[in-house]
Amino acid sequence: MDGTLLRSTATIELARQMGQLEAGQEIEKAWGEGTISDTDFWLKLLDICKDASPADFDDAFRNSPWMDGVAETFEDIRSRGEDVIVISQSPTFFVRGLEVWGANETYGSAVELGSPLKSSATLLPEAKVAITQSALAARNLSPDECVVYGDSSSDVALFTTYPHSVAVNPTPVLAPLAAKTYLGSDIREAHAMGRKLIATSTRNQFAQGSSS
């Protein structure tokens, strides 16, 4: 979600809403540099949000700088009888908001206000693969019938597992692994790239079947 659907991070936007933007930026920087643990990161974020109300969370979500066309893209996907699954390292309580816009399923790090923080709270990159595999199996779909989108190192495992991938404004580590790369601010355009990957794959499979 962060960097792919959201042109920011959930942490930054939550901190901004709570009037603690600098604190949010500091923990994001420290986490990126590896100078604090996952547990310390989440504890600091929970401290920033300790006085937040449901309205604060709603406002943080609504006022965040989302990519253009997120809800429209979800609607288009679902209108085709397909499903939208969002898997993110951001807190579950923030990622869940995308269900209002049409995401069929959302998964995030197991971080909830008022609940004990587990040492395994962070949703790891390999979990993204496991969740995707489970979702495909439940729908009797093959890897060729799935498009994965991402932007950073936490998506490397997904991009090396699934052939149809679209990197959205990617970091240098992810870009070389993508089937397609999108640079811009409209997720509808990235989705169009993904649809072309599926269409091309289907045509090739048909052609191979016809010639065999």
pLDDT digits (tens, 9 = 90+) for 36-63: 999 999 999 999 999 999 999 999 999 9
% of the chain surpassing 90 pLDDT: 89
pLDDT digits (tens, 9 = 90+) for 59-110: 999 999 999 999 999 999 999 999 999 999 999 999 999 999 999 999 999 9
Q: What is residue 205's predicted lDDT score, i.e. its pLDDT?
A: 53
% of the chain surpassing 70 pLDDT: 94
How far apart, in whole angstroms, are the C-alpha atoms of residue 174 and residue 49?
Answer: 31
Helices (H), 110-155: 125-138
List % helix, strand, coil for the chain (3-state, nearest 5): 55, 15, 35
Q: Tell me the mean pLDDT in the region 183-191.
A: 98
- 206 pLDDT band, cuts 50/70/90, is very low
Asked whether residue 130 carries a pLDDT value surpassing 80, the answer given is yes
Under a CB-based contact definition with an 8 Å cutoff, are residues 47 and 165 in contact?
Answer: no
Can you state the angle between helices 10-17 and 21-33, rounded to 10 degrees?
Answer: 160
Per-domain residue ranges for the chain?
A: 145-212
Q: What is residue 210's predicted lDDT score, i.e. its pLDDT?
A: 46
Asked whether residue 182 carries a pLDDT value surpassing 60, the answer given is yes
Q: Tell me the mean pLDDT in the region 161-170.
A: 97
Mean pLDDT in the chain?
93
How far apart, in whole angstroms, are the C-alpha atoms of residue 86 and residue 96?
Answer: 9
pLDDT digits (tens, 9 = 90+) for 16-42: 999 999 999 999 999 989 999 999 999
Q: Tell me the mean pLDDT in the region 183-197.
A: 97
Asked whether residue 202 carries a pLDDT value surpassing 70, the answer given is no
Q: What is residue 208's predicted lDDT score, i.e. its pLDDT?
A: 53
